[in-house]
Each structure stands twice: as structure tokens, then as C-alpha cells.
Structure 1
Amino acid sequence: MESGKAQLTQRRNFNKPALALAKLAQKNTSQEGLTLIECLVAIGVIAVVSVAFTPPIFLAVATQVQNRRAEQALQLAQGEVDRLRRTVEQGNYDDSQLPPRATDSFDLNEFKRQSAPNSAQRLQSNETYPSNFQTGRLIDVNGDGRDDFIVQTYRNRGVQRDGRTVAFNVGVRVYTAPQDFGRLENPPQRAASLHMTSGEGQQGRRPLALIYTSVIQSDNRNSLCSFRQFQGEGTNNAACQ
């Protein structure tokens, strides 16, 4: 009996290393990493997903940047018109404070056909506008020392009264800067389209903002006469009598 127990104990002791090796093998199996093929498949999936989603992301970001610049350009153009209207309404000005004259015609279609800018410059502190309507003003909107926009502002001859122009058409075109003037659409037919784009789009050929409007002094007794003259009725109308 004791001999049988001894044999059983000896057999168990003999099997302990085998059991330990089996447990170790089972443990290693549960902690195995990815195989080389599985890694390659995962890398391939990531690459395909990146290729599929990266271009739309770049396109969306580029379009957002262009839209933001177009919004800034429109604000610049509208601000220019508002400033001119305030100057004329206040009445204490002379024609040197108005945009340069591009044409004598009162025809709006001809007014819109005036040439695009062929140069640009930064103005001195005592200057309001360039002397030539084809010279744009360089504008740095964020104060970083780099020019962001080129603003072209011009007018027609308009109606003069008491030594100053009191009614006139004004055109404001805002281009991106820097600009290759030789590439510009001349004259510009419309503002640059804001379609989805990953590049500059139409910014290199057309203005980002385009405004044509009228500025008329309206706070004196001759305002109606000036307006009628501006409309092409001359001085032979009831308002000028």
C-alpha cells in the first residue's frame, strides 16, 4: 500500500514540470501580438481611409479661408463707400479728398467698364487716395506688416456745386494681395466665385468684392437739383428753378 502511494507521489512530482510548461504555453498563447500579415492589413486600411478623407478636409479648410478673405474684402469695400458718404454728407471737403476720376460719363455701364488696377502702393499719412484710378491702395488688415488686399476706388465726374463734386458714381474693387496685375480680368465682369477650391480659385483674376453705387449730398437746398442733374436731366428741371 505504501509502495503504491510512493509511486503515485513520484508520478505527480514527475508531471509537475510538464504541467508548468503547459500552463506557460497557454499563457504565452493568450498574450501573443499581431502577426506581420495582420499589421500590414491594418496599415493598408489606415492608408485607404486617409487617402479617402484627407482631400475633402483640405478642400473644406481652403474654401473656409477663401470665404473669410472674401468677407473681409466685402467689409473693406462697404466701409470705403460708407466713409465717402460721411465725407460728402458733412460737406466740409474738397475734390482732393474724393477718389480719382476715371471717366466723365454718367452712363453706369461705361462706368463699370473702367480698367482694373495695373499697380498698387502704400499711401502716406497725408494721402487719401492715389492720384491715378488704376493704382490701388495696399491694405494690411491685421497689422502684421504684410499687405492683405488691394483696394481700387474711382468715380466719375459727377455734378459740381459751389466748387466741389456733390453727386457722383463710385466704384470699389478689392483684390487679394500680392497680385500679378497682368493676369487680372480687364475690366472685371464680376467678383470671384466662391466655389469649393483647394487653391486660389478666381482670386488671381477677379476682385473678391465689387461695389458700384452713387454718393449724393442730400442735406442742403440744392440737393434735389443736384440729384436731377446726376440723373441726366440737366439744369432745366423744376428742382433747379
Structure 2
Amino acid sequence: MLSLKTQLIQKTNTRSFTLGLLKLSKPNSSQQGISLLECLIAITVISVVISAFTPPIFLAVATQIQNRRAEQAIQLAQGEIDRVRSITERLDYANTDLPPVGATIVEQQSAPSGATTDRNSVSATTGLLVDVNGDGTNDFVVQTYRNDGVPDSSGKRVAFYMGVRVYAAVITQNYGLLENPPQRSASLTLTTALGSQKRRPLAVMYTTITHSDDRNSLCNLQKFLGDLNGSGCS
């Protein structure tokens, strides 16, 4: 007959062994896999989040690209005005060095009907293709034109209105979609993809060009401004 102490030890060992088996048979909660339903819920939540955030991201990126192009277009337009202004400051320029003559009122000039890389063959309704990045791909179409203006005694135009429009190069494939005349530019607006660049210029500038280094410059300017009597002319 076993002693009481021996029986107690056996019962303790049996209980410990039983608890050990139960622990081994019960899976660890940290090692359990996720169910198919939980996978579907997670996929649905991720899809909803992506769908909600993707359109604003596309809108922001497209708008940023268009505004950057608009800045480049403004620089091109201003550069063209500065180029013509510097020409008129010379004494030996000819009318062929100036922008082509368009409508009597420059603001009513039609939109470009073509594009060329040769400045000498640019007409008032033709744009000049410009590659600003030097990668061999045209980025812009620059349309420069003027009204007839006021001539000096030799027939050289010494005062005239000048207009510049800068379009994205995509208009070479969409001439039929251009607004004529453009009511406003396509820049500084929220957009997706190309937005209104297919129909509107990115930059529009108008200015007055006068040749001022001449003794008759004041008289010519008065005539240009509408004082046909030329009061003050010598």
C-alpha cells in the first residue's frame, strides 16, 4: 500500500501531465490565420480608400503640369514681345523683320491654322513650333501677329499693336477645336489630363510697339494714337 505522500505526488504529476496535453491541443491565438471573410472586408476597405484618394491626386498633378506649362508659355510670349521690341529699336530693320500683319484689330485675329519651324514662312494665321526642352519634341505653338500700324516717310512701320498667343503643341492635331477668338486662356484652372489646352492658348499677350529713336517718333506716336492731324509734328 502506497503511502499518502506517494499518492499525493502521483496525483500532482498526473494533473501536470493533463494540463500539458491540453495546452498542446489548444492552438496558439497568435498563430491563427485570418478567414476568407476578413480578407474580403480588408480588400473592400482598401479599394474604397484608393477610389476616394486617386481622383484628387490626378487632378492635382494635372493642374500642376498645366500651370508649369503656362509659366513657360508666358515666358515665351514675353520673350517674343521683347524680341520684336529690340528689333524696332534698331535703325536698319525692315517690315519683313516684324510679325506678320493680321486683322485690323489684333484682338480679332483668328487662331492658328498651321504650324512651321521656319519663322520666315510664318503668317498671321500660322504658329511657330517651339521645342523648349531640346529633346526633339515640339512643346508649344507660338502665334505672333500685328496690325498695319503707322509708317514713317519710307514706309517702315514704326508703331503698331502686337499680339502673341502660345498654345500647347497638342493643337496641331486639334485645329478644329480651337476657340476663335479665344475668350480666355487655359492656364491657372483645375483640370484633368489636357483640360482646355486643346481649345485655348496657355498665354495671351497684347502690347504696343513703337520706334522711339527718331526725331519724328512723337509725331508718329500721335498719329498711331489717333491724332491724325499730327499736332506737334515738325
TM-score, with normalisation over the residues of structure 2?
0.89
* Equivalent in 117, 136, 152 of residue 122 of structure 1: 117
Structure 1 unmatched ranges of 5 or more: none
* Equivalent in 199, 216, 220 of residue 210 of structure 2: 216
* Equivalent in 126, 129, 145 of residue 138 of structure 1: 129
Does residue 74 of structure 1 match 2:88?
no
* Equivalent in 149, 154, 165 of residue 145 of structure 2: 154
Aligned residue in 1 for 2:34: 34
Aligned length: 231
Aligned residue in 2 for 1:231: 225
How far off is 1:218 after superposition?
1.6
Identity of aligned residues (%): 55
Structure 2 unmatched ranges of 5 or more: none
RMSD of aligned residue pairs (Cα, Å): 2.1
Query: 2-side partners of 1:26 and 1:91: how far apart?
Result: 100
After superposition, give the CA deviation of every residue in 1:9-55 in whole Å (9 maximum; x if it has no partner). Answer: 32333333322233345671244343333332222222111111111
Q: Is the 2:142–2:166 contact (alpha carbons within 8 Å) kept by the matching residues of 1?
A: yes
Q: Is the 1:130–1:136 contact (alpha carbons within 8 Å) kept by the matching residues of 2?
A: no
After superposition, give the CA deviation of every residue in 1:113-163 in whole Å (9 maximum; x if it has no partner). Answer: 11111110112xxxx443421111001111111111101101111122245
SS at structure 2 position matched to 1:91: coil
Q: Is the 2:149–2:161 contact (alpha carbons within 8 Å) kept by the matching residues of 1?
A: yes
Q: Is the 2:170–2:198 contact (alpha carbons within 8 Å) kept by the matching residues of 1?
A: no
SS at structure 1 position matched to 2:190: coil
TM-score, with normalisation over the residues of structure 1?
0.86
Q: Is the 2:66–2:187 contact (alpha carbons within 8 Å) kept by the matching residues of 1?
A: no
SS at structure 2 position matched to 1:112: helix
Q: Could you tell me which amino acid in structure 2 is paired with residue 147 of structure 1?
A: N
Aligned residue in 1 for 2:44: 44
Aligned residue in 2 for 1:90: 90
After superposition, give the CA deviation of every residue in 1:210-232 in whole Å (9 maximum; x if it has no partner). Answer: 11111011222221111011112
SS at structure 1 position matched to 2:121: coil
Query: 2-side partners of 1:194 and 1:129: how far apart?
Result: 33
Aligned residue in 1 for 2:192: 198
SS at structure 2 position matched to 1:229: helix
Aligned residue in 1 for 2:157: 165
